[in-house]
Amino acid sequence: MARLADPRPFYKSLAPLLIWPTLPRPADWSAVFGRRAPLSLEIGVGNGEFLARESAAHPERDHVGIELRWASVKRALRNLSKPGVAPGGNVRLVLDDAKPVLQRLFAPRSLERVFVLFPCPWRKEVHEHFRLFHRDFCALLNSRLVDGGEVLLVTDWTPFAEWTLGQLPGNGFAVDHRLIDPAFQTKYERKWLALGRAQFHEVRLRKQEHRDVPVREDLPLNPPQLAALDFERFAPEDVTGPITVTFKETVRDRERQVAMIRTVVVEEPLTQHVWITVARDQAGTWWIVPARGCQMVPTAGLQLALERVAEAGRASAAAR
């Protein structure tokens, strides 16, 4: 019998990976890790090299890493499986954007320290709104830190360091900014070193005054129900504005009378890629719901997507 290839070429274990939309708001980290311990966070783990070393060097702490790209998470999982770091031990990974995760999973005064090493500086002015460390994000960071907790930011790009320093006043931090030699052995540090940059900007923030930013609550979804729709012809229209909803494609199972709609919902800073199911129950009622098993956060944008599908369904029924 032929032996199947290993389906996990990039990692040995998924144990550190959290499916965070299923966790309570805020998360009970003592339940996640099975103990009570000081909690550290790295935003943008890249290859996971620093997170792996930090979690191995400080087994008395619990460590969470947030990363937006699956390719980076796979590499981080691989590094977390190396000797000295126990998969599923004192480190967890979250795949998503940092701001909605911080808003929902971390209670006020829950983090001892936060590391942000070589974040994308979004160099063009038109992309400035994508940068971390806008004033509201600084207030959010402050609220999630314990009193006296620290943030360590390292960047290679002087304009980003200067811009960040301009966002900090009034957010309750003592700020220390200096140039440092290479010290973190990360992918981007090595990249900039190879390009001849021998020093980097280090911005250390120590919390002095608390800023109150409550945990963001999810919106209870209200799945629409329709008495009738034209299964072959309903087609939802996109939404633009503060919330953007784009319907990418619709797949129909005509025999079972089930349709799946691939949908992108953007409400800054959260972007969700979800499938919406349109299906008829035994009583003949059409239900419009997020597809079972998809990773999603119940938000106003997702409710709007469901309502837009329902509108299309009502219009198709009226046109018959």
| Tally of structural domains, the chain | 2
| Structural domain boundaries enclosing 101 | 17-207
At residue 291, φ and ψ (nearest 5 deg) are: -60, 140
What pLDDT, on the 0 to 100 scale, is given for residue 35?
A: 96
* One pLDDT digit (tens) per residue for the chain, 320 residues: 555 555 556 777 888 999 998 899 999 999 999 999 999 999 999 999 999 999 999 999 999 999 999 999 999 999 988 776 655 589 999 999 999 999 999 999 999 999 999 999 999 988 898 899 999 999 999 999 999 999 999 999 999 999 999 999 999 999 999 999 999 988 888 988 888 888 999 999 999 999 999 999 888 999 999 999 999 999 999 999 999 999 999 999 999 999 999 999 999 888 999 999 999 999 999 999 999 888 889 999 999 999 999 999 999 999 87
Which of 146, 172, 207 is the endpoint of a domain? Answer: 207
Residues 120 and 90 placed together within one structural domain of the fold? yes
Rounded to an integer, what distance in angstroms lies between the CA atom of residue 115 and that of residue 205?
11
Residue 218 lies inside a defined structural domain of this protein:
no
Q: Which of 83, 158, 146, 74 is nearest to 113 (CA)?
A: 146
What pLDDT, on the 0 to 100 scale, is given for residue 88?
A: 55
Residue 56 lies inside a defined structural domain of this protein:
yes
Determine contact, residues 201/158, Cβ cutoff 8 Å: yes
Residue 246 lies inside a defined structural domain of this protein:
yes
What pLDDT, on the 0 to 100 scale, is given for residue 8?
A: 57
pTM over 0.75: yes
Residues 94 and 239 placed together within one structural domain of the fold? no
At residue 125, φ and ψ (nearest 5 deg) are: -60, -35
Most distant CA atoms of the chain, gap in Å: 71
Residue 217 lies inside a defined structural domain of this protein:
no
Q: Which of 205, 79, 90, 184 is nearest to 139 (CA)?
A: 205
Residue 9 lies inside a defined structural domain of this protein:
no
Residues 136 and 165 placed together within one structural domain of the fold? yes
Structure tokens at 33: 């890790």
Residues 120 and 232 placed together within one structural domain of the fold? no
Determine contact, residues 219/303, Cβ cutoff 8 Å: yes
Q: What is the side-by-side order of every strand in the sheet holding 111-117? A: 17-18, 91-95, 62-67, 39-43, 111-117, 145-155, 200-207, 173-180
Residues 190 and 306 placed together within one structural domain of the fold? no
What pLDDT, on the 0 to 100 scale, is given for residue 22?
A: 87
Residue 11 lies inside a defined structural domain of this protein:
no
Residues 199 and 282 placed together within one structural domain of the fold? no
Residues 230 and 182 placed together within one structural domain of the fold? no
CATH number at 56 reads 3.40.50.150
Residue 10 lies inside a defined structural domain of this protein:
no
Residues 56 and 177 placed together within one structural domain of the fold? yes
